[in-house]
Structure 1
């Protein structure tokens, strides 16, 4: 037996090289492969099982009965071979029959053999077959033998894919383990339906050649790739490309730890010694990492292993020369994008005509990409576990984010049902589009103001498309989030002027930049340590008042952009009246500075605040005399009231917006605001849902700022509503809340003909 795994594998690969290069049928090659492996490992049996039509078929064997070839079949999970393929794991047993998953197949004659070892044949993270060896005497195979088998299995995957021997479409794109439809469950991040083909944000690297011609040349390629990768990681640290503070710093430190880990580079070198190319060696070590990840129950340790996987992908891209994302390569068809996670700038790189939806392995309701996707009208499903293992590049996908599901390789029945629902949805959208010139006037002539939320220059077109009353919330931080450097004042001014000009006579409310906390900017370094609760941390107005140079520049940009017009400015996350006072004083100082230099200024400045922090509700008597308007941000307000992080997957949908706690709190705010004659608006996702919007109107809200897609449904709801009757009912319900407020309101709406699309 060879003295090392590398020597053992290299001995086999040298002999396999000639087999693979020969012009012979694939079956003949496999027959020769099992003889070579059995001989090299001094094993009495060597067998290859391949996945065909969803089951594992004995394709070639040395040592078992030849009449069993193409006859013996095992389902995924059946027997030792089926267990290896189903779990993508290695088994090494001195007594095969003692394993609980052992299944005896009499036609093979395997009752003569006691020991068993098997490794999965993996193609793009999926088992497409199993390579096994057996021996008459009970013994566990040595570690060097197992490693040799794993290396050989990698080379076999290339031969098998090129010969198109397994399920799928050969080397072009391999199926998971069957062509059966799969339903993926996740968390609705952005509502909507979409159809398209799966495209990976970072396309998978196809390893075309696994056996090295020149080991030293391959080693030099890996050394060069490591040097380039480490240079990239160091540059990230110096330029803070990863963002700063909190998780970003932790990720960067983990990346640096792995990038300079000698054990990792040594294992890749050992794989090259066994006769693999640089790409195959990296993938070989990566397969071992994935195998370890499947056995890890500690979520923190599993996350670190995911970081190593990401870094391995980076190294593989460098060594193969296949850099860039799918956006940079260009979309060629209607696409459902698949990614572990995305940043807002990355999403904006994609062609909106082709990008139909997004499925994320991670993602949260508060993530920047979710906000941008909602503004773009792109449905997003997040928290889809193992999506990158369950979906192959090019797979047809149906995305129904409203149902928190996506359907991979849908059946004809699934496709038909989806199409029927989509057609109905499109008809409803056509009905809503027809309402764009119709005011949101209730049956009892109560006018509700319906505005849109925006953050991009292109979003302003939604005013005309929907017939909205204006922009109730323009998120100025989008320009900061998608920029590699701090946007200069001139750039900011140009954006704000364009927005005002496109809006015409309709009002635009600019929210000053809401950054920090979980919206870390790559070019702003936090002074303090990592934040455990970034949503409640150093962000929004807190950042702006401390780093007031940024706010001064934004103030001048807004003041000059709104020359001769009315400027509506809103400050986010005001917790105390003095914070509003300082922010207003800063704007007024900039107005005086510009006036002193003869600059043209707005005809009027209206100042407002966002009520997101519950504490502000206790100071309204102090604040209201200073305000022109107040906006309620229901997204943050809800998580603060319930002490529930909306980004946490277990809490994201735990608390209902129609809870009496929320509705009573809002009603308590409405009274003094109305009495003070201050405009009050709800600027959160709550206002864009028909049933929730109905409840808000029922407690006295007359102004909503919502996503453009929600304007039509909300208009339709308002026009079918008797506001006076609703407000009487809501007063009774909040006096004595029912156990199921949502169900009670839904039933009332149905009885009274309220349209809840």
Structure 2
């Protein structure tokens, strides 16, 4: 086997080029191709399977029985070949029969072969076949061999498509002339309507084998220079009104554009004999394959950024640079893309961009963060969207429910416009209530604060009508940074937040990373546990990595000079963890004191109750804290042993179940007896019916999303506290079968604003 993937692939590509240039049928050429690959790779078997009628048909083979050609067929997902095609990934096995997906086909005579390696043959981002090699001796194939196979598979896809040997890329949902409703994942809430516009024209790599390697290299160098210039300009010109996390996202994106490892991999692909376009696509396919194997959403997001840059580079080198942003939006637009990078959405005219629909997308993606900042509804996880709509067709976007309607008829459009008008009217009504006091009909004041994680959130605090920031998630700065934020960067953020908040209180939660919030620059904090939410994360990690917490404590102390520093520690299981965290922060206070630095006016310490075990130790904890915050999101999943990220469990528990309400009431009663204020954080407190129930069990302080302030205040101002508490006492003493329905019916009868 040659020493490098480049030389291995180059030798095969040279032979392929000669085969493709000859006269002869496609079948004859494929027979020659498998013989060529087998010879160059010293492989006992080389086979090509192609997708026809949704079956993977053995089209050519060297080493297996010839009579199996056009006879052996495997369904998508069936056997090793079907698994590769269905999942679009590589298999490299020293013992094929040990794989759970292995299927034996006696007509092939493959029983004497043990090792197996296969790669997908991809066209237009979808597998159209599989290229596989086999050996009698059990062994795993070297990385250089797999790289060579992938490069050859890419060139084969051009030949196969040109000969029209396959059905084409796997079809998405068949289009129809009538309305079509699709559901996805709500990423950014809001309602919008507009015409479908595709973010970018699909660049199809038509010529894969290079005639002049150095000329192709120069084309790539020129494209890199142009792309980096574009990114630099976007980074300078991005306007958010305030520097901070969004700027850091773009800086991370810019860092990828200058990544030497990426450009080196493209050069290596050119060395193997590929054109500039094919080399970029080859490296992009490798990135996609890696994305399928990564469970960490943050690492996936870094890969999405790299894929976004690959698309940009491919458009430049192919001369097809015009995205919809460059051609300009002339009408209200719903943008459609497989995915978007954080910089790309900023290229669009915000007056015309009404919504974004993505085949992929995630709640933690950089693009989602930017879209939320500029107020554009986004729905993700719509895998069929690019196959289900044509440019210019009307789309209704319901970002609140994560659904869309394509090609709506007049009745659907009228109904949607009516709901949009009602939504705008409700928003206007809630906006009018925002600045009114959250006081019940019988005079009980309810503290309404907001959850935040960005400097921009603090700037918007005055407009939100909230009493302050009840939960500032400091980890957000860590999650969107390319490198670990040092004390100075943290200090700048915390100072901005406190200055923007003015006289309103801000409660900083110390960094909650680890688990599902892994950081690529802290590889050793990745949690491989089956349920990372209950693993090495939050305060557990911070106490173990004390230098991380010390740097944050110093930044918080310096930012709060002359002000009140309110800090709370997440995911405390037992009081000793709180004591250790508090002692660590007080050590940093002493450091600041000895350094003659200006100190906070005072420090208030709080604990977050998210782990149920802490409720059993409240008699020990409450005398030592200034306030208690209850994180209902994690607490609920721990109480019900139900992962809140698993859609199959979404309806298996309810925040209005008697179990959670009784648990919370017990905590609230204990804290009231100890004269310790309690604040409910999390989604539960931001829903009017649930918030009504919380007030009914004794809650008087909540911290919610800014968008929920108006609806929650409207609910508070419509209730009589004594009546609500009497009702909750009654239903918790003898719970009805359906607590939610019982409370909703009671709210309607008593004219409580819960809609």
Q: Under a length normalisation based on structure 2, what TM-score does the superposition of the two structures give?
A: 0.65
Q: CA deviation at 1:494?
A: 2.3
CA distance in 2, matches of 1:368, 1:573: 26
Q: What are the within-5 Å matches in structure 2 for residues 584-595 of structure 1? A: 584-595=582-593
Q: CA deviation at 1:489?
A: 1.9
Q: CA deviation at 1:610?
A: 1.0
Q: Give CA deviations for 1:659-697 in whole Å, capped at 9, x if unaligned.
A: 222112111211101111111111101111111111111
Q: Which residue does 1:445 correspond to in 2?
A: 443
8 Å contact from structure 2 (residues 185, 381) kept in 1: yes
Q: CA deviation at 1:406?
A: 1.6
Q: Which residue does 2:203 correspond to in 1?
A: 206
Change (3 A) 1:367 1:635: farther
8 Å contact from structure 2 (residues 280, 314) kept in 1: no
CA distance in 1, matches of 2:534, 2:312: 38
Q: Which residue does 2:242 correspond to in 1?
A: none
Matched, 1:480 2:491: no
Q: Which residue does 1:723 correspond to in 2?
A: 721
8 Å contact from structure 1 (residues 345, 481) kept in 2: no
Matched, 1:736 2:734: yes
Change (3 A) 1:220 1:535: farther
Change (3 A) 1:528 1:706: closer
Change (3 A) 1:126 1:486: closer
Matched, 1:565 2:560: no
What is the aligned counterpart of 2:620 among 622, 632, 635? Answer: 622
Q: What are the within-5 Å matches in structure 2 for residues 389-404 of structure 1? A: 389-390=387-388, 396-404=394-402
Q: Which residue does 1:534 correspond to in 2?
A: 532
Q: What are the within-5 Å matches in structure 2 for residues 518-667 of structure 1? A: 518-526=516-524, 530-667=528-665
Change (3 A) 1:562 1:310: closer
8 Å contact from structure 1 (residues 682, 701) kept in 2: yes
Specify every segment of 5 or more residues in structure 1 that has no aligned partner in the other structure, as ranges: 13-35, 42-82, 97-121, 128-143, 158-173, 230-255, 301-305
Q: Give CA deviations for 1:558-590 in whole Å, capped at 9, x if unaligned.
A: 112111211110111111111111111111111
Structure possessing the higher radius of gyration over alpha carbons? 1
Q: What are the within-5 Å matches in structure 2 for residues 196-235 of structure 1? A: 196=194, 203=200, 205-207=202-204, 210=206, 215-217=210-212, 221=216
CA distance in 1, matches of 2:490, 2:681: 23
Change (3 A) 1:688 1:594: same
What is the aligned counterpart of 1:704 among 698, 702, 719? Answer: 702
SS at match of 2:434: coil
Q: Which residue does 2:510 correspond to in 1?
A: 512
Change (3 A) 1:519 1:706: same
CA distance in 2, matches of 1:586, 1:604: 16
CA distance in 1, matches of 2:348, 2:471: 25
8 Å contact from structure 1 (residues 630, 680) kept in 2: yes
CA distance in 1, matches of 2:157, 2:185: 40
What is the aligned counterpart of 1:414 among 407, 412, 415? Answer: 412
8 Å contact from structure 2 (residues 308, 340) kept in 1: no
Q: Under a length normalisation based on structure 1, what TM-score does the superposition of the two structures give?
A: 0.65
CA distance in 2, matches of 1:642, 1:484: 36
What is the aligned counterpart of 2:161 among 122, 141, 150? Answer: 150
CA distance in 1, matches of 2:17, 2:486: 57
Q: Which residue does 1:139 correspond to in 2?
A: none
SS at match of 2:633: helix
8 Å contact from structure 1 (residues 9, 149) kept in 2: no
Q: Give CA deviations for 1:495-528 in whole Å, capped at 9, x if unaligned.
A: 2222222222211111111112221223222167
Change (3 A) 1:376 1:685: farther
Q: CA deviation at 1:381?
A: 3.2
Specify every segment of 5 or more residues in structure 2 that has no aligned partner in the other structure, as ranges: 1-14, 30-50, 60-67, 72-121, 128-154, 225-260, 296-300
CA distance in 1, matches of 2:411, 2:511: 48
Change (3 A) 1:336 1:569: farther
Q: Give CA deviations for 1:451-496 in whole Å, capped at 9, x if unaligned.
A: 1111111112332213211111111112222222222322322222
CA distance in 1, matches of 2:519, 2:388: 33
CA distance in 2, matches of 1:578, 1:329: 58
Change (3 A) 1:474 1:326: farther
Q: CA deviation at 1:223?
A: 12
SS at match of 2:451: strand
SS at match of 1:630: strand
CA distance in 2, matches of 1:743, 1:419: 29
Change (3 A) 1:435 1:311: closer
SS at match of 1:749: helix
Say what the alpha-carbon RMSD is for the aligned residues: 5.3
SS at match of 1:445: coil
Q: Give CA deviations for 1:575-628 in whole Å, capped at 9, x if unaligned.
A: 111111111111111111111122111111110011111111111111111111
Matched, 1:431 2:429: yes
SS at match of 1:402: coil
CA distance in 1, matches of 2:558, 2:346: 28
CA distance in 2, matches of 1:156, 1:644: 43
